[in-house]
């Protein structure tokens, strides 16, 4: 878990940071002028306005953690049902039951495609905005 | 509910020093060119920019006084702001936008929604309560922004170019509406604009801001009749000629002389209304005391009036009817004579 957090966290941080940067901070000024305390501003304005970046960052971090191999096997080992990630299971299965290993890797592939497709707008939308 | 404020803010290249005063129910219009510091002034009054010097009081309560290390954060001030591009929260419905200020101040959800609904009805948008700002027209967004700022009954209302983002037709309608709404609520108001019409329609007094300083202040009529800077003169469409007076004769700084009705002395401004300037193809004989030769530099159509920019002994703008222009057969570079009666010349000390 800890190892995966270390590996995956930068994806979340970078995406959320970009989201915060692109947000118009004057919305927070508007909220303050309406009497909202800093915590209320954060909860009712900052978080909702950066929600797309938060969701995208979380999905990215989750996808990265799902496919984690190196850090897990180095620091947590490869104990079945406890520290074994899917790629580690694929690694094990490759030596015993190849067809299950292929099925499992196809599942991983499918998940990564779903994540990519569902986040397509977020990235390419961002590119379009930047090109404008 | 009064606002005495003495605002001093240094921000980048802007050095703002402005004294401002607004009584309850009074609207002060702050007029000035881009970059004069108008928006920064509003942000300082709202507490979004701390003062470097001076003091801001609302109803005698100190809001900001750097000398005494006193500063009230924006959320604790009774200030409503209508921002230039409204800044309606895009993720909230029109109703929730209006209710935001009440909810933030601890009003219960039901009560906040009821009062927000009342205000939406007042601005004629009760049937649009559930929709997001992005589907509202510019005029409707402006109404929601006004309702959002007024629902908390602020003691000070700040309006930053509230009509600038609208097309001409909508602007006229909303200017009238804004006037009606402002008349029904208490508190002092500061309106930032660069449109003289807004100031004429909405404000009791005018403060002209240029390069972070007050260039002129007074009622709209005073400022329009006796401008004290090129910016104001252009804004109100008056010929402003600085010069040195001796008796009834003023020697202009830009060259040329003007004869006035009343004798004055010293450094003065000469103000001549464009419609007081007559134009002729031949040098006029007889009564006018001021006659200058020149050429047409440009011709503007202004509603049912034509403005002729004349370059010559004295650079001046004349206003005539389109029929008169056609009679004279004037076009760019035509030679002509301009004349002004001495009694039509207004002179006042600089």
Residues of A in contact with B152 (CB under 8 A): 34-35
* The total number of structural domains that make up chain A: 1
Please give, rounded to a whole number of angstroms, the shortest distance from the CA of B108 to a CA of chain A: 14
Q: Do B104 and A48 touch (CB under 8 A)?
A: no
| DSSP conformational letter for A45 | I
Interface test with A, best of B58, B63, B71, B75 (most A CBs within 10 A): B75
pLDDT for B1 equals 44
Tell me the residue range of the domain where A52 lies.
Answer: 2-131
Cβ–Cβ contact A40 with B under 8 A: yes
C-alpha B246/C-alpha B267 separation (Å) is 9
Query: What residues in chain B have their Cβ under 8 A from chain A's Cβ atoms?
Result: 43, 46-48, 73-77, 79-81, 83, 87, 89-91, 100-101, 104-105, 148-149, 152
A36 → closest Cβ in B90, B91, B104:
B104
Kindly state the average pLDDT of the residues B122-146. 93
Residues of A in contact with B73 (CB under 8 A): 32
pLDDT for A111 equals 83
Helix A98-118 vs helix A86-96: crossing angle, to nearest 10: 150
Nearest to B211 by CA among B229, B236, B193: B229
For residue B209, the SS3 value is strand
Kindly state the average pLDDT of the residues B247-269. 89
Q: What is the pLDDT of residues B1-11, one digit of tens each?
A: 466 777 777 66
Q: What is the 3-state secondary structure (H, E, C) of B46-92?
A: HCCCCCCEEEEEECCEEEEEHHHCEECCHHHCCEEEECCCCCCCCCC
With cut-offs at 50, 70 and 90, classify the pLDDT of residue A128.
Answer: very low
Residues of A in contact with B115 (CB under 8 A): none
> What mean pLDDT value characterizes chain B?
89
> Residue A131: is its pLDDT beyond 50?
no
Calculate the alpha carbon distances from B66 to B8, B63, B98, B229 in Å.
10, 10, 33, 32
pLDDT for B140 equals 94
B46 → closest Cβ in A31, A33, A40:
A33
Q: Do A26 and B46 touch (CB under 8 A)?
A: no
pLDDT for B107 equals 93
Q: Do A33 and B104 touch (CB under 8 A)?
A: no
C-alpha B199/C-alpha B185 separation (Å) is 18
Kindly state the average pLDDT of the residues B237-252. 90
> Residue A125: is its pLDDT beyond 60?
no
Domains of chain B: 3-233 (3.40.50.300), 237-349 (2.40.50.100)
Q: What is the pLDDT of residues B45-97, one digit of tens each?
A: 999 998 888 888 888 888 988 888 989 999 999 999 999 999 999 999 999 99
Please give, rounded to a whole number of angstroms, the shortest distance from the CA of B75 to a CA of chain A: 4
pLDDT for A124 equals 55
Kindly state the average pLDDT of the residues B269-274. 92
Cβ count within 10 A of residue B7: 24
Residues of A in contact with B100 (CB under 8 A): 31, 34, 36, 44
Kindly state the average pLDDT of the residues A45-54. 89
Q: What percent of chain B has pLDDT over 70?
A: 97
Kindly state the average pLDDT of the residues B34-38. 88
Residue of B nearest to A51 (CA): B91
With cut-offs at 50, 70 and 90, classify the pLDDT of residue A130.
Answer: very low
pLDDT for B224 equals 85
Cβ neighbors of B195 (< 8 A, separation 6 or more) are B163, B164
Between A and B, how many CB-CB pairs are < 8 A? 60
pLDDT for A121 equals 67
Cβ–Cβ contact A33 with B under 8 A: yes
C-alpha B214/C-alpha B101 separation (Å) is 33
Please give, rounded to a whole number of angstroms, the shortest distance from the CA of A35 to a CA of chain B: 4
Nearest to B189 by CA among B46, B24, B54: B24
Q: What is the pLDDT of residues B101-110, one digit of tens each?
A: 999 999 999 9
Kindly state the average pLDDT of the residues B143-171. 92
- ipTM of this predicted complex? 0.78
Q: Do A33 and B152 touch (CB under 8 A)?
A: no
Do the Cβ atoms of B296 and B309 come closer than 8 Å?
yes
Do the Cβ atoms of B119 and B131 come closer than 8 Å?
no
Please give, rounded to a whole number of angstroms, the shortest distance from the CA of A130 to a CA of chain B: 21
pLDDT for B196 equals 87
Cβ–Cβ contact A35 with B under 8 A: yes
Q: Do B90 and A32 touch (CB under 8 A)?
A: no
B81 → closest Cβ in A24, A33, A45:
A33
Residues of A in contact with B91 (CB under 8 A): 48-49, 51
Q: Do B101 and A29 touch (CB under 8 A)?
A: no
Which residue would you say has higher pLDDT here, B336 or A130?
B336
Q: What is the pLDDT of residues A72-97, one digit of tens each?
A: 777 767 776 666 777 777 777 777 87
pLDDT for A129 equals 46
Backbone angles phi, psi at B2, to 5 degrees: -125, 160
Cβ count within 10 A of residue B331: 9
Do the Cβ atoms of B116 and B95 come closer than 8 Å?
yes
> Residue B288: is its pLDDT beyond 50?
yes
Q: What CATH number is attached to the domain comprising A63?
A: 1.10.3720.10
C-alpha B155/C-alpha B150 separation (Å) is 10
């Amino acid at each position: 878990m800890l190892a995966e957090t270390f590996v995956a966290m930068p994806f979340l941080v970078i995406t959320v940071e970009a989201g915060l940067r692109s947000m118009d901070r004057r919305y927070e000024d508007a909220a303050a002028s309406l009497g909202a305390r800093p915590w209320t501003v954060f909860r009712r304005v900052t978080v909702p306005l950066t929600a797309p970046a938060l969701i995208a960052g979380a999905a990215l971090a989750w996808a990265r953690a799902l496919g984690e191999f190196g850090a897990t096997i180095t620091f947590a080992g490869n104990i079945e049902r406890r520290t074994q990630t899917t790629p580690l299971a694929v690694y094990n299965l490759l030596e015993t039951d190849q067809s299950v290993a292929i099925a499992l890797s196809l599942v991983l592939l499918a998940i990564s495609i779903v994540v990519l497709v569902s986040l397509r707008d977020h990235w390419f939308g961002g590119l379009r905005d930047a090109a404008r | 509910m009064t606002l005495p404020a003495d605002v001093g803010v240094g921000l980048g290249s802007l050095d703002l020093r402005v004294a401002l005063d607004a009584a309850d129910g009074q609207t002060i219009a702050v007029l000035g060119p881009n970059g004069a510091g108008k928006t920064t002034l509003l942000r300082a009054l709202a507490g979004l920019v701390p003062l470097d010097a001076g003091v801001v009081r609302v109803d005698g309560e100190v809001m900001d006084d750097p000398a005494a290390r006193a500063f009230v954060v924006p959320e604790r001030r009774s200030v409503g702001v209508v921002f230039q591009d409204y800044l309606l929260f895009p993720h909230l419905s029109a109703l929730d936008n209006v209710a935001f200020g009440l909810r933030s101040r601890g009003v219960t959800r039901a009560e906040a929604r009821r009062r927000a609904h009342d205000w939406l009805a007042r601005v004629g948008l009760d049937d649009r309560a559930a929709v997001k700002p992005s589907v509202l027209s510019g005029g409707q967004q402006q109404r929601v922004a006004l309702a959002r700022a007024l629902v908390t009954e602020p003691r000070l209302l700040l309006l930053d170019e509230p009509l600038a983002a609208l097309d001409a037709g909508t602007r006229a309608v909303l200017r009238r509406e804004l006037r009606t709404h402002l008349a029904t609520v208490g508190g002092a108001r500061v309106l930032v604009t660069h449109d003289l019409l807004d100031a004429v329609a909405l404000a009791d007094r005018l403060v002209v801001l240029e390069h972070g300083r007050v260039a002129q202040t007074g009622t709209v009529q005073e400022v329009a009749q006796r401008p004290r800077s090129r910016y104001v003169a252009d804004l109100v469409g008056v010929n402003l000629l600085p010069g040195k007076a001796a008796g009834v004769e003023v020697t202009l700084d830009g060259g040329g002389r003007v004869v006035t009705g009343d004798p004055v002395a010293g450094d003065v401004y000469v103000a001549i209304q464009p419609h007081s300037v007559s134009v002729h193809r031949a040098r006029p004989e007889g009564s006018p005391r001021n006659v200058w030769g020149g050429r047409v530099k440009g011709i503007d159509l202004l509603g049912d009036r034509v403005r002729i920019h004349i370059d010559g002994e004295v650079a001046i703008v004349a206003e005539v009817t389109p029929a008169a222009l056609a009679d004279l057969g004037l076009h760019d570079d035509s030679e002509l004579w301009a004349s002004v009666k001495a009694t039509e010349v207004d002179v006042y000390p600089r």
